Amino acid sequence: MGTLTYDSKLTVALDDRVLAHLQAVIWSKLRRGEQFAFTWTDPMRSGLGRTSVWLSPSIPLAFEYFGGRTPRLNPAWIEALTKSANSPAGLTVVPEPDHPDGAV
C-alpha cells in the first residue's frame, strides 16, 4: 500500500498498482497546466467514505510507494483513467480493464 498526500494535509492509502496508474494520469494533466477534481472512496476511514479534492499545478502532491519495484503500467487503464479525469465529474478510480497482451 502506497500513499498519495495532497497539500501536505490529506493522505490516502492506495495499492501501489493503482497509485502508479493515477500518478501517470495526474502528472500528465498537471504538466499541461490542467486543473481537475479527483474523488476516491475510502471505506477504511471511519465515517468518511468519499473524498474529493481539486488538483492544480500549484498544489503539492506526494506519491509514496511501499514496494521497491515500479508496477507495469496498463495503457488501457491509463486511457480509462484519463477519460474519467477529462469528464465533468473529474478523476475517479475506475476498474482496470484487461490489458490487450494479457500482462498486468
Whether residue 99 is contained in a domain is answered as: no
Whether residue 45 is contained in a domain is answered as: yes
- Nearest Cα to Cα of residue 92 among 101, 102, 81: 81
C-alpha cell at 78: 491509463
- Nearest Cα to Cα of residue 39 among 25, 28, 50: 50
Whether residue 100 is contained in a domain is answered as: no
pLDDT given at position 70: 87
Residue appearing with cell numbers 501501489 = 16
Whether residue 79 is contained in a domain is answered as: yes
CA–CA separation, 48 and 64 (whole Å): 22
pLDDT given at position 76: 96
Residue appearing with cell numbers 503539492 = 60
Which segments of the chain have a pLDDT < 70? 43-48, 99-104
Whether residue 104 is contained in a domain is answered as: no
**pTM for this structure?**
0.88
pLDDT tens, position by position, 75-99? 999 999 999 999 999 999 999 998 6
Whether residue 35 is contained in a domain is answered as: yes
Owning domain of residue 69: 2-13+21-92
Domain count, the chain: 1
